[in-house]
Structure 1
Amino acid sequence: MPIQAIQNRRLYQQIADQLLEAIERGEYRPGSTLPPERELAKLLNVSRTSVREALLALEIRGAVRVRVGSGVEVLAPSPDTGGATPAAVGTDIGWEPDPELDAELGPPVTLDIPPFALLEARALVEPEAAALAAGNASDAQLAAIRAAYEHNVRDNREGSKTHPGDRLFHIRIAEASGNPAYHALLRHLLGHRYSEMFRRMQALYTPDDMPHRSEREHQAILDALEARDAARARKAMRAHLDSVIGIFTRA
């Protein structure tokens, strides 16, 4: 397989294209498995997260099946599904309408940002937004943040796929920061429908205990906000986002 160093933006697309070309040349035949993520990352001189995004993109295109813990299987094209394989069709986890979220943010549209780029952007912004919210939030805003937390708890109990309460929790913290740029950014990032690749990553790599782990982490953030402790709010938010990134990176 001829390997080229990847240097430009949208790395995952270039990686996916190289792998797809190798599949089409017959270097990886249907039923075989691609090299492990770590090996591909070393060969291509890119991060493992970029490789993971590329493999998710290939699965959505119907070229492979990602089997967590068992490798990535190359699939035969199926003309009955327009080139996608039956295994790759219907894997999207969907989008549950939520009247409260739609009333606050408007109807969702697809936001096409690679999964790890989205998470990394949030990790840069949200800890400082939480610290500012601890000092600036009004009593009404704190009550709205608590209501979003309770919404998230209900989502977890009801088995929600998209957790609108989770997104409301983060958006309302950004609003309470008093910085309109933070609020606009988080409203844009979280108020829209995630890309199919992000949703597929969630479906594949979210552990069973993640909703309740996230709930505990949200509780720590909420406690710090209600205590008006900026340093603790910043630390709790950073720990929460690092935990989410770690889960999707190590899975």
Structure 2
Amino acid sequence: MPLGALRPSPLVEQATAHLREQITSGEWAVGTKLPGEVALATSLGVGRSTVREALRALAGAGLVRARQGSGVFVIAATPREDWSTRLRQAAINDVYEVRLLVEVGAARLAAGRRTEADVTALREALARRRAAGSADDAEFVEADIALHEAVVAAAHNPVLTGLFTEFVPVLKQQLLALVELLDLRADDPHHGEEGHAVLVNTVVAGDAEAAARASRHELEQTLALLHSL
């Protein structure tokens, strides 16, 4: 299959797509050594720097690997799934087990690191969750997760914050489905309010172990519901 010259922009994305097609279509089988940078650049009608960026993207997707002094070789016929895709496809029980591990630690850190601004944000988030008790399930779930985001933010760890941010879209979807499936708010529109209040109060008070216990207790209750389904 001839590669063909590319349009001017965006060159790296186009080069990556063309090279990926060569691999996923079977034109370049697993174990095949790719043409050199100069040959690829000529075939695609781009510069060598564009080819290098495209090869980095393919390596990040798990399709190719450079061997010192030997060249770049195809190591897989299908790209690795990215983290967001894996999360979207994961079972809700698995997501909640990881959420438990992440948030208990986050609550412990938050209790020791929260600032006055965090205290204000936490109290406001708790108030919004309480007010959302009179709203529909979607708004309630949004307020619930926003409170947990505030706890994670108070830990002041950018890696932890970034990790939780990746979870948020999946959590919103799965938690809303769970609330609706089990009709969790039928008897109590403010479902879980007491536990969330304890979580916020212990973080605000700076009691790290109590905050971790509160977070664990609240999330384990939901996990127990999931295991009972």
Give TM-score scaled by structure 2 length: 0.56
2-structure distance, mates of 1:168, 1:196: 14
Q: 1:131 aligns with which of 95, 103, 108?
A: 108
Q: Spell out the pairing of 1:1-251 with structure 2 (5 A cutoff).
A: 111-162=88-139, 163-190=141-168, 192=169, 194=171, 199-207=176-184, 208-209=186-187, 212-251=190-229
What is the CA-CA distance between 1:161 and the residue it aligns to?
Answer: 2.5
The structure having more radius of gyration, on CA atoms, is 2
Distance 1:196 1:165, change over 3 A: closer
2:208 corresponds to which letter in structure 1?
A
1:202, distance to aligned residue in structure 2 (A): 3.5
Counterpart position of 1:13: none
- After superposition, the C-alpha distances for 1:10-61 in whole angstroms (9 at most, x for unaligned) are xxxxxxxxxxxxxxxxxxxxxxxxxxxxxxxxxxxxxxxxxxxxxxxxxxxx
**Amino acid aligned to 1:219:** A
| Offset, 1:209 | 4.0
Deviation of residue 159 (structure 1)?
Answer: 2.9
Which SS does the other structure have where 2:137 is aligned?
Answer: coil
CA, structure 1 residues 225+210, in 2 after alignment: closer, same or farther (shift >3 Å)? same
Partners of 1:134 and 1:229 within 8 A in 2: yes
Cα-to-partner distance string for 1:49-98 (whole Å, 9 max, x where unaligned): xxxxxxxxxxxxxxxxxxxxxxxxxxxxxxxxxxxxxxxxxxxxxxxxxx
- Letter of the aligned partner of 1:187 in structure 2? T
Shift of 1:206: 3.9
Kindly provide the amino acid, as one letter, of the partner of residue 245 in structure 1.
L
**Does the 8 Å contact 1:225/1:233 carry over to 2?**
yes
Deviation at 1:160, TM superposition (A): 3.2
Q: Distance in 2 between matches of 1:201 and 1:245?
A: 11
Query: CA 1:227–1:210 in structure 2 vs 1: closer, same or farther (change >3 Å)?
Result: same
Q: Deviation at 1:198? A: 6.0
Structure 1: tracts of 5 or more residues without a match: 1-109
Q: What TM-score results when the alignment is normalised by the length of structure 1?
A: 0.51
Percent identity of the aligned residues? 24
Q: Is the 8 A contact 2:145 2:172 kept in 1?
A: no
Shift of 1:184: 1.0
Letter in 2 for 1:238: R
RMSD value over aligned CA atoms?
2.3
Which deviations, in whole Å up to 9, do the C-alpha atoms of 1:108-133 show, x marking residues without a partner?
xx944321111111101101100110
The separation in 1 between residues aligned to 2:126 and 2:213, in whole angstroms, is 18
